[in-house]
Structure 1
Amino acid sequence: MEGNESTINEAGNIDAGDKTGCLDIHSSNDDNPNDKSLGEESDIVPVVGMKFKDENEIFEFYKNYAYRVGFPVRKRNSKKGDDGVLRYVTFTCSREGHRISASSSSLKPRPTIQTGCKARLAASSEICGTWRINSVHLEHNHKISPSKSRLYRCNRQISARTKRRLEINDTAGIQSHKSKAGRSEKKVCVEKDSGNFIDKVRQLKLGEGDTIALQAYFSKMQTSSPGFYFSIDLDEEARLRNVFWADNRCRQAYKEFGDVVTFDTTYLTNNYDIPFTFFVGVNHHGQSILLGCGLVSNEDAMTFVWLFKTLLECMHDQAPNGIITDQDRAIQNAIEIVFPNTKHRWCLWYILKKLPEKIGNHNHKGSILSAVHGLVYDTQTCEEFEQGWNKMLEDYKLQEHGWLTGLYNERSRWVPCFLKTSFWAGMSTTQRSESMNAFFDGYVHSKTSLKQFVEQYERALRSKVEKEFHADFKSFSQMVPCVTRYEMEKQFQSVYTISKFKEFQEEFTGKVYCEVLSAQDSYLHTIYEVREDIIFNGGMKKKIFKVLFRRDECEFECSCHLFEFRGIICKHAISVLIRNDVALLPEKYILKRWRRDVNRPYTRVPINYDGWISTPEQVRYDQLCLAFTKLADLVAHDEERCQGIMDWIDLQTIDLSKRQNP
């Protein structure tokens, strides 16, 4: 699929070559800044003695410096002279100070950006009217990142050009979140800012396209986007039958988040004329992340076998550990053929949605629905579910109900107590359908042509990447305060993304509803009985959980299996750990998947979506790839030199890996 030319092979797949490009960034510096003109842009680093026309020019200079370095700024203090004219100003890093709040003892504290940073710049006016920098402190007590600069409030501004574009688009009926941002704009506004500027939005009026335009679009993407993959399935008469595609960012993200995927075919087939399918994972913030998608001609097993095999080819034969789908038999058969070792789970939301219809007008319909929900959500063991199910069938004379019988026979695919011992990345029963529907709504309409669909899909994907970038920025620049003084809470606060730390913190504070009732000791472990008071709809019920704890290894296992299922430690285990004076947990209970301090290769992949401005890290990555490609062309014919360079790369890789993972 990745060669130097585009060809259609016998299987109907299109092969196209990869090409790379890079963006040059130039900066300048000077050893004698005071010799420059006032406020000249080449003065990159603030130095005592630098002079400017007025305080506004100083602030803009400091903002530009902060933008290059990667921290937010604000005006901290100003002082006027006896004549009422401004004489002194102080600009600081926005992370200066500490937030003091009456709600500091809240069990759900809000994230704060403030870390007590001392970085600042102070200046005063001179008799001649010019302004001079009197003091500068450049050191920060937090991480800085140029790639995050555009998201800080002080840099989020809507340029005149952007405003004009939004106004024109609004008149044309284009929603603000679909507008293309100019590539040349250095500081851009976020989607929320555009929405605030254009309060009233309208939908796009889309025309029709054809399969030739679709092929042309894919060819263009594979030329401009290194690693872009697509495959087209043609029938015997060379007519378009099925399509699959994934850009390089999706492919690299699959390496990290492709262990558990959801596969959905219902979105566009239910609402539009386009049979759109997609593979979705969950990233380190718990957000849905697109891993690949396709257009299919029908929904039979042969089609899904082709689609799944194409996914494997695209993802270098890495099959998911778990896959979530609806109850479609054709999908199930295809999974058994292509992914024989993958755990297959049905979406519980769809099953419970069908339940009222399948029960029909039974005299005890309400009681049956309540009983099924209780069995689904309250039973902790498989035996408990099976006994309760059989009793329900007997009580309501449902032993001959065909649909319920079929559900029971496949109980290992949908009942939580049969699935909770496997890792499902915390995917909820409704996340698979609801999140992706909300993602594509507003971008695609019933009259959308294939070509326009792909273009709209790219704009929607850009919006999704932007939301992930914002979540990364939030976890980088903010911190949710701890609500206790336990070291265990601080341990997770320091390494988890904000969304995942909040999940852990909710379990941690939830221990106040738990009480350890008893403990049974054995030679190898202790089994604790923990009672939880579960509050719901103004009422409360009590539930018993069992936690097995091995003190020597500091290992635990709770009957709720929240850690195995979601990767988050449950309140019951936390109660037992604190009872046993465990201060810090072993590294195996801190999942790399949820950490914010991990370098994730897929985020460095250059993005070629319309309007996306690459981060400095993505630009450097692209430049390195291009440089190594040129080097490979020069030495590939020389075995001795080639081996020498490979040895040097191995040494550099080992050294850098040690530095990043000491």
Structure 2
Amino acid sequence: MDVVVADVSPAIDNCDEKMLPKVDMLFDGENEAYEFYNVYAEMVGFFVRRSTLWTTSKNIITRRTFVCSREGFREKKRGTKEAKCPRPETRIGCPASMTIRLNANGKYRLTEFVPNHNHQLATASTMHMLKAKKIRLKARAVRENLVDDTVRTPEFESEDEAYEFYSMYAGKIGFNVRRASMTMNAENIITRRMFVCSKEGFREKKRGAKGVKKPRPETRTGCPACMVIRLASNGKYHVTEFVTFHNHPLGAAVPCDLVATSQSTETGQDDGMDVVDGSADANIHKQNLISDNTMAASLESRINKRFKCTKVPHNGDIGATLEYLQKMQHDKPSFFFAVKSDDDGNLTNFLWADSKSIMDFVHFGDVVCLDSAYALQGYGRPLALFTGLNHHKQTIIFAAALLYDESAEAFRWLFDAFKMAMNGTQPKTLLTDRSAAISEGAAASWPATAHRYCVWQIYQNALQQLSQAFHGSRTLEYSFKKCLFDCEDEPEFLTAWREMLEKYDLEDNKWLADLFSLKEKWALPYGRDAFCADMKSVQQKESLGIELKKHLSLEFGLLSFFQQFERVLCDRRSAELQADVEASQSTKKPPPMRVLRQACNVYTPSAFKMFEREFELYMDCMLYNCGEMGTVSEYKVTIEDNQMDHFVKFDSLNSRLSCSCKGFEFIGIPCRHMLKVLDTRNIKDLPPQYILRRWRKDAKSGSSNGSYSFPFDSDPQLAQTKRYNLLCRIFSIAAARAATSVDTSAYMENQSSILMDQVEQALETRPPDMAAIIGAHSNQTQNPIDNIITGLHNHTNFINGSADGSLTFPFTLGAGALDYH
């Protein structure tokens, strides 16, 4: 067919200059470009249709073409007979189009624009008629022009809560609600949902409908009233469109107390409410009641109460959780759990930890990561995990929690409960997701703990927030990861960040700007003094969330999740036990160099790999003497391929070193610069203070009673309870080690009887003041528990830890409930 070019110049001349498509125009999203082309098309005189697109494996649109509705030709289907009254041909191969492509900064650039049409364009009068016809077929096409921005709406934790809110509003105004279209992501999570008036749209005409003698009356009128919600980055649903206009008379208002049960919402059929006759102005006035004081009196009190607990437990979840926790404490008296309730007495949050997890915290609780991704992003049940790293660089779980309340007060309760479970101790460093509520709770409960935002969790959030930008450029992700993980000092970080923003045109990206404003909480150059045990590198390789994610879904019962959680604990503890065996029975040939032999003998294989890497890199270092002051010498250490200089101070009096890179303070392994200075000073053995116990093979051996410290309260009963818990924790460590073999178990039984005799003798000869007794015996050269553990250590060789992590120790970690308001 020959293309006849229509004259669009007069129409374009009448267009606003800002409404004309131009090559290199930028749009924030594909929908924004589509709406822009729609406005232009309406002024010119045609309709728009989405055409070809290109997407990535994650359904990110990288290229899209919008065309005139008369583009292409109608497809002729095979086997179709020639119709007696064929539909008129509407597609005639119109070439008009607009193409956009995804840029590196996450925006879409207009790359091609064809203004010419091969058909007559509509005039202002004919366009109005065509638009009215289109609106009748799909009334929602005009809802954006009717959005009421004055309506105040809350944010919702789930799609059901938004539906309940809109139903309450509909009952007050006088119409019924129906769930309409929705959008879901690859994980079957609703990201967009539309609620409409029951009279939205038009009844579909079915074949044979003309033969019905008594057809049902038409109830749908194409009403545009609706509420649209979208899932935001904080895991909550926000109202993006709220249309209050109805094109039909409204019904009588339903009392608020009956709203929840009076709506025939799912079927969309009328429920026989009395129709109020009145003018359109009267209807509009009635709808405006939602922004008046009437709404505040009738709805806000119920809504505020409804949304005070930020997540609504699924049916049966509270009962299943209590059943599990009570059963665990019955089976294992050392099991700890705590429960939080709100002002109305509803149970909202739960935390639990078994004895093996508590013992793990004694040895490896210097760094704790609170993984609250599921709690904050709203995926399934709101699980939060307190995790850490053992001496084999394996992820271990210290405690788990279900958080249906995510306020700052709730997180303060969470940290207080965790501290109680861990015998009053808290970590040196806390790594969490970026959250104001978490930050406030941590500052109130753990003021002495260094609180940092976990860079790995920030990277995971960036994959969502910057997904379009990452798919628009192959190198942006690399530059962003460099800013997160590879910068050592502040100038290097600031330069890398500025270059990233300029190169990829991200200066106006709000998420990155907010992230940068908090750089002191997450950027590595600002937190080198906070010990992290190389947590970020381990998180890059494994994720507990992947293993538990499926069973957190609401499709499964909560007891199924608890079973999977126990499996994960068991598997990880078995892996730790296997690593202990392999570390103690290694048959590898000893390294030839003395310092390497020492490191190989004391470090676990995983820790030795970190040390070995630093040792290999120290060989490339060059050292320059910068002067001496008394016993302290200062050196400058450089590497040929690295322009950054590092400075090391060495005190010959006590062999203490400090390096400007803060590598030892950050990870716990001597850095290459320190090793270079030691070698220059002819020190062939690592000083003991630079071999952290947490990385040693024997990290879990020996006495740990020095780790506990209780202030004895003036209340005698409370003080006795705390001393009892203290002694239970101490003896549980000895019991766990003794249970690994028959010989050590028998030895423990024998020594326990001797210890009991000593306790009884002390009680008979002294007043029953437990604090005085403990104080007196602590002054002895070696107390009985040290005798037991030392005796165990000398009695036989055994494997660290318990075999299955399920030993039951003869003590109870509390009453099982911690209620905090």
DSSP-derived class of the 1:286 partner: coil
1:452 to partner: Cα distance: 3.5
Query: In the alignment, which residue of structure 2 is the partner of 1:546?
Result: 646
Query: In the alignment, which residue of structure 1 is the partner of 2:673?
Result: 572
The verdict on how the C-alpha distance between 1:406 and 1:616 changes in structure 2, with shifts beyond 3 A counting, is farther
Letter matched to residue 463 of structure 1: D
Bigger mean CA deviation after superposition, 278-287 or 626-635: 626-635
Query: In the alignment, which residue of structure 1 is the partner of 2:296?
Result: none
Which of residues 242, 263, 272 in structure 1 aligns to 2:370? 263
The verdict on how the C-alpha distance between 1:481 and 1:414 changes in structure 2, with shifts beyond 3 A counting, is farther
Asked whether the 8 Å contact 1:312–1:318 carries over to 2, the reply is yes
Residues 108-137 of structure 1 show CA distances to partners (whole Å, capped at 9, x for unaligned) of: xxxxxxxxxxxxxxxxxxxxxxxxxxxxxx
Question: What fraction of aligned residue pairs are identical, expressed as a percent?
Answer: 27
Query: In the alignment, which residue of structure 2 is the partner of 1:314?
Result: 421
Bigger mean CA deviation after superposition, 345-354 or 276-285: 345-354
Letter matched to residue 764 of structure 2: D
Letter matched to residue 446 of structure 2: F
Residues 278-328 of structure 1 show CA distances to partners (whole Å, capped at 9, x for unaligned) of: 101111111111111111113222221221111122223212221111112
Letter matched to residue 546 of structure 1: H
Aligned counterparts of 1:257 and 1:239: Cα–Cα separation in 2: 35
1:336 to partner: Cα distance: 1.7
Residues 614-658 of structure 1 show CA distances to partners (whole Å, capped at 9, x for unaligned) of: 654885698579858976997797354989997789555466688
Asked whether the 8 Å contact 1:508–1:571 carries over to 2, the reply is yes
Is structure 2 residue 324 aligned with structure 1 residue 217? yes
Aligned counterparts of 2:322 and 2:750: Cα–Cα separation in 1: 30
Query: In the alignment, which residue of structure 2 is the partner of 1:587?
Result: 688
Is structure 2 residue 587 aligned with structure 1 residue 500? no
1:479 to partner: Cα distance: 5.0
The verdict on how the C-alpha distance between 1:367 and 1:431 changes in structure 2, with shifts beyond 3 A counting, is closer
Is structure 2 residue 456 aligned with structure 1 residue 382? no
Query: In the alignment, which residue of structure 2 is the partner of 1:520?
Result: 626
Asked whether the 8 Å contact 2:551–2:564 carries over to 1, the reply is yes
Is structure 2 residue 519 aligned with structure 1 residue 418? no
DSSP-derived class of the 2:424 partner: coil
Is structure 2 residue 600 aligned with structure 1 residue 474? no
Aligned counterparts of 1:216 and 1:304: Cα–Cα separation in 2: 24
Query: In the alignment, which residue of structure 2 is the partner of 1:352?
Result: 459
1:496 to partner: Cα distance: 1.4
DSSP-derived class of the 2:602 partner: coil
Which of residues 325, 339, 361 in structure 1 aligns to 2:446? 339
DSSP-derived class of the 1:638 partner: helix
1:481 to partner: Cα distance: 3.3
DSSP-derived class of the 2:409 partner: helix
Aligned counterparts of 2:568 and 2:506: Cα–Cα separation in 1: 46
Asked whether the 8 Å contact 2:734–2:789 carries over to 1, the reply is no
Which of residues 453, 463, 466 in structure 1 aligns to 2:561? 453
The verdict on how the C-alpha distance between 1:257 and 1:432 changes in structure 2, with shifts beyond 3 A counting, is farther
Asked whether the 8 Å contact 2:341–2:348 carries over to 1, the reply is yes
Asked whether the 8 Å contact 1:263–1:279 carries over to 2, the reply is yes
1:240 to partner: Cα distance: 2.7
Aligned counterparts of 1:350 and 1:332: Cα–Cα separation in 2: 15
Greater relative contact order (CA < 8 Å, ≥ 6 in sequence) = 1
The verdict on how the C-alpha distance between 1:511 and 1:344 changes in structure 2, with shifts beyond 3 A counting, is same
Asked whether the 8 Å contact 1:226–1:248 carries over to 2, the reply is no
Asked whether the 8 Å contact 1:604–1:621 carries over to 2, the reply is no
1:556 to partner: Cα distance: 2.9
1:226 to partner: Cα distance: 3.5
The verdict on how the C-alpha distance between 1:482 and 1:525 changes in structure 2, with shifts beyond 3 A counting, is same
Query: In the alignment, which residue of structure 1 is the partner of 2:657?
Result: 556
| Structure 2: 5+ residue stretches without partners | 1-313, 705-728, 795-821
Asked whether the 8 Å contact 1:262–1:432 carries over to 2, the reply is no
| Structure 1: 5+ residue stretches without partners | 1-206, 534-541, 608-612
Query: In the alignment, which residue of structure 2 is the partner of 1:251?
Result: 358
Asked whether the 8 Å contact 1:272–1:445 carries over to 2, the reply is yes
Aligned counterparts of 1:370 and 1:251: Cα–Cα separation in 2: 39
Letter matched to residue 582 of structure 1: I
Aligned counterparts of 1:592 and 1:431: Cα–Cα separation in 2: 22
DSSP-derived class of the 2:618 partner: helix
1:217 to partner: Cα distance: 3.3
Asked whether the 8 Å contact 1:243–1:294 carries over to 2, the reply is yes
1:446 to partner: Cα distance: 4.6
Which of residues 347, 355, 370 in structure 2 aligns to 1:240? 347
RMSD, aligned α-carbons: 4.1
Aligned counterparts of 1:352 and 1:427: Cα–Cα separation in 2: 14
1:531 to partner: Cα distance: 0.4
1:516 to partner: Cα distance: 0.6
1:246 to partner: Cα distance: 0.9
1:221 to partner: Cα distance: 2.3
DSSP-derived class of the 1:494 partner: helix
Number of residue equivalences:
442
Query: In the alignment, which residue of structure 2 is the partner of 1:435?
Result: 543
1:501 to partner: Cα distance: 1.6
Query: In the alignment, which residue of structure 2 is the partner of 1:597?
Result: 698
Aligned counterparts of 1:248 and 1:362: Cα–Cα separation in 2: 44
1:61-460 mapped onto 2 (5 Å cutoff): 211-267=318-374, 273-355=380-462, 358=465, 371-386=479-494, 388-390=496-498, 400-428=508-536, 431=539, 434-440=542-548, 446-460=554-568
TM-score of the pair, normalised by structure 1: 0.58
Asked whether the 8 Å contact 1:476–1:596 carries over to 2, the reply is yes
1:388 to partner: Cα distance: 5.0
The verdict on how the C-alpha distance between 1:219 and 1:391 changes in structure 2, with shifts beyond 3 A counting, is closer
1:247 to partner: Cα distance: 1.2
Aligned counterparts of 2:464 and 2:555: Cα–Cα separation in 1: 31
Q: Give the structure with higher Rg (CA).
A: 2
